[in-house]
Structure 1
Amino acid sequence: MTTTASPPTVPGGASAPQVRRAGARTTGWIAVMTAVLAASITLAVTIGSADLHPLDVWRSIGDHLGLSSSSLSQLRDGIVWELRLPRVLTAAAVGAALAVCGAVMQTLTRNPLADPYLLGLSSGASVGAVAVLILGVGWLGLPVAAFAGALLALVVTFALANRRGELAPTRTVLAGLAVSYLCSAATSFIIFWSATGDSYREILSWLLGSLGGASWSDAAIVWVAVVVVGAVLVSRSRVLDAFAFGDSTALSLGIEVNRTRWTLLTLVALLTGAAVAVSGAIGFVGLMLPHAVRFVVGSGHRAVLPLSALAGASFMIWADTLARTLFDPRELPVGVVTAFLGAPAFAVLLRRRRVGR
């Protein structure tokens, strides 16, 4: 009598060959999306009134990094290095941050409509930013004020949601909504009471999301946050997989649910605050991109998080490129473009999922 050996299995019920195939598939998608991101950065820098070639972008980068000597004129090099490249890289970092935060928020709250702003962070950042703009401090203090406002909103949300050391998903969502409405009211009051003249346009541009003033320091701030916080979140992929099945499942796997949720929500808040501080509130990226990625690769966070970051970065680059060139010389707030692109795409995604089911 002969027996047939079954393939080795790994925790979660999947066989080792299945895990290897899934890993190879994820690696392939990451390679493709990385190439798409690199191409998007290069092409987006060339688009505009100045006639630039993709090679000009890399010549300028190589020259400033000391890798090669560039034959570009000072004007063309300045357009690439001082104007367009920091803006494109900031857009990529903001898109990556919002997409990753959206994926984590949807899992922790078990709410498919959750986005990075669910904790009231964008509304808190708006209060700080609008106060600075109206007081006339200028753009120098804007990121600091926006980040401080976001963190203050987070503290108030956690204080409202906390009950005997526990952060229940439903209470957290409701507390975030309450803080968001309160901060929105405060922002409206400040604008109504103090804004005059052209300050309305500047305030509206920030509230709708804008990357027009992006600099290398802005890009550095968000990219450091994306790399550091993103790496921590990816390292907690298995924990997030457990949370996707509910607190009971996570608890049965030995996860300290309350402490872990506190930690992950704080990381999400820090990353969202860094993004909002330099770009304003940009909608639909954190809501739509994680769902689109899950539609392609499934719900495992080891694949969802890095692919959401890459997809969000590429999406934001092209949204910002449309915002600055579509009605040139006038510039749209990038939040308007993401809403126009995101709403129909999200509707199509929902339709396809419903038909599939």
Structure 2
Amino acid sequence: MAHEVGERQAPRLKRPAQRPYPGVLRPIAGTAALLLAVVLVSLALGRYYVPFWHVVQALASHVVPLGTPVPSAEDSVVVLVRLPRIILALLVGGGLAVGGAALQAIFRNPLVSPEIIGVSAGASFGGALALLLGAGSLALVGGSFVFGLAALCLLFLIASGRGGAPMLMIVLGGVVVGSFFSALVSLTTYIADPFTTLPAIVFWLLGSVAAASYAKVLIAVVPILAGTGILLALRWRINVLSLGDEDAAALGLRPRTLRWVVLVSVALIVAGAVAVSGVISWVGLVIPHLARMWVGPDHRVLLPVSFLLGGAYLIAVDTIARTVTAGEIPLGVLTALIGAPVFFALLRHNRDRIWDSA
């Protein structure tokens, strides 16, 4: 009898049966429609303008045979030049946004972004080191990914241990790891050749998808979609974890284990993103706020909407970067120029509603 009472007092967490309801599907469908519109506009715009109907024809011609052939120049621009760039921007922007939304939930802090765990700095050092050594693009991607995961391992060593405040240790460990690898990046740029290697390192660190290709898309797909898929699978548990460790443990969750699963997933996303595009900041901080203001704090909706909205945002920013001036503006510069004032406006006008909207 005592055993049965104990079981009733500490039940195992089971996901309740839920019916699909329009409140979940409508914002996801609306954001997907917005993303599709941004993609089509981005495929058309550029130094070589392609009419929208020709864009649709060029895409459709690779799926089904069409009676009217598409001009080869337009087909090459759309399919071989702009499409891989747009797919890469979608993966990077969506991954950073969904990672930021998940981190803000588990830390219960709307000011948290993927950069706080130090993986971005580690991946930056890996890429800068590969450029310093004159290695190829494959080594650049591999070095970024390896050192990004190495930063996560260092964070685990710093934050692991019994007792203490695990949340505080993770934040402080992320600051330590990020500062350490940022110092290594500074050292790398200091000893780089100022006429050849240094400009390449600086431009890469500013973030860009100008060198996008289908090979880079394949490299980015695996870690970004793997991390995103894990976060989407845990979206209901992230809802519970955002209530606090005590409530989550009372419902049968293991907060520390779940938190590290989320951190590893975000690290996969960030390492994959930095490996193919360099450091692009502010996406993982601003986009979750915009999505939360629209759909609320329910992560069953917030996470997919953040991914779609982050992808649309970075595609739009990249379109601006390659069309406004003769020389491309690095994405990291534009996202900071846009994200900082937008975030300031959000804090000023919605500080009571951004996090507490129910």
Cα deviation per residue 1:161-202 (whole Å; 9 max; x = unaligned)? 111399811100110110100101111111112333132221
Q: Report the AA paired with residue 234 of structure 2.
A: R
1:255 aligned residue: 253
Following the alignment from structure 2 to structure 1, what is the Cα–Cα distance between the partners of residues 289 and 24? 16
1:340 is aligned, of 334, 337, 340, to 337
1:3 aligned residue: none
Cα deviation per residue 1:136-170 (whole Å; 9 max; x = unaligned)? 11323211111111011111111111113998111
Q: Secondary structure at the match of 2:351?
A: helix
Shift of 1:96: 0.4
Following the alignment from structure 2 to structure 1, what is the Cα–Cα distance between the partners of residues 192 and 113? 31
Against the structure 1 CA distance between its residues 34 and 347, is the aligned structure 2 distance closer, same or farther, given a 3 Å change threshold?
same
Following the alignment from structure 1 to structure 2, what is the Cα–Cα distance between the partners of residues 161 and 69? 62
Q: Report the AA paired with residue 336 of structure 2.
A: A
Q: Report the AA paired with residue 341 of structure 2.
A: P
Cα deviation per residue 1:40-94 (whole Å; 9 max; x = unaligned)? 1111011111120122222222223345466222222111111111001110111
Q: Is the 8 A contact 2:44 2:52 kept in 1?
A: yes
Against the structure 1 CA distance between its residues 108 and 69, is the aligned structure 2 distance closer, same or farther, given a 3 Å change threshold?
farther
2:328 aligned residue: 331
Q: Secondary structure at the match of 1:83?
A: helix
Against the structure 1 CA distance between its residues 198 and 227, is the aligned structure 2 distance closer, same or farther, given a 3 Å change threshold?
same
Following the alignment from structure 2 to structure 1, what is the Cα–Cα distance between the partners of residues 70 and 97? 36
Matches within 5 A, 1:1-357: 23-66=21-64, 68=66, 71-164=69-162, 168-328=166-326, 330-354=327-351
Q: Secondary structure at the match of 1:140?
A: helix
Following the alignment from structure 1 to structure 2, what is the Cα–Cα distance between the partners of residues 89 and 305? 19
Following the alignment from structure 1 to structure 2, what is the Cα–Cα distance between the partners of residues 163 and 355? 36
Following the alignment from structure 1 to structure 2, what is the Cα–Cα distance between the partners of residues 150 and 327? 33
Following the alignment from structure 2 to structure 1, what is the Cα–Cα distance between the partners of residues 35 and 85? 15
Shift of 1:124: 0.5
Shift of 1:244: 0.9
Against the structure 1 CA distance between its residues 165 and 258, is the aligned structure 2 distance closer, same or farther, given a 3 Å change threshold?
farther
Return 295-304 or 51-60, whichever deviates more: 51-60
TM-score normalised over the length of structure 2:
0.89
Q: Is the 8 A contact 1:62 1:69 kept in 2?
A: no
Shift of 1:350: 1.3
Give structure 1 stretches of 5+ with no counterpart.
Answer: 1-15
Q: Is the 8 A contact 2:204 2:277 kept in 1?
A: yes
Q: Is the 8 A contact 1:167 1:262 kept in 2?
A: no
Cα deviation per residue 1:252-305 (whole Å; 9 max; x = unaligned)? 110012221121211111111111111111011000111111111111100110
Q: Is the 8 A contact 1:293 1:304 kept in 2?
A: yes
Percent sequence identity over aligned pairs: 36
Q: Is the 8 A contact 2:155 2:170 kept in 1?
A: yes
Return 73-82 or 334-343, whichever deviates more: 73-82
Q: Is the 8 A contact 2:226 2:265 kept in 1?
A: no
Q: Is the 8 A contact 1:167 1:258 kept in 2?
A: no
Following the alignment from structure 2 to structure 1, what is the Cα–Cα distance between the partners of residues 236 and 273? 25
Following the alignment from structure 2 to structure 1, what is the Cα–Cα distance between the partners of residues 261 and 164? 12
Cα deviation per residue 1:217-257 (whole Å; 9 max; x = unaligned)? 22233334444332321221121111111111110110012
TM-score normalised over the length of structure 1:
0.89
Q: Report the AA paired with residue 354 of structure 1.
A: R
Q: Report the AA paired with residue 209 of structure 2.
A: L
Q: Is the 8 A contact 1:284 1:339 kept in 2?
A: yes
Q: Secondary structure at the match of 1:210?
A: coil
Following the alignment from structure 1 to structure 2, what is the Cα–Cα distance between the partners of residues 114 and 355? 17
Cα deviation per residue 1:198-217 (whole Å; 9 max; x = unaligned)? 32221111111111101112
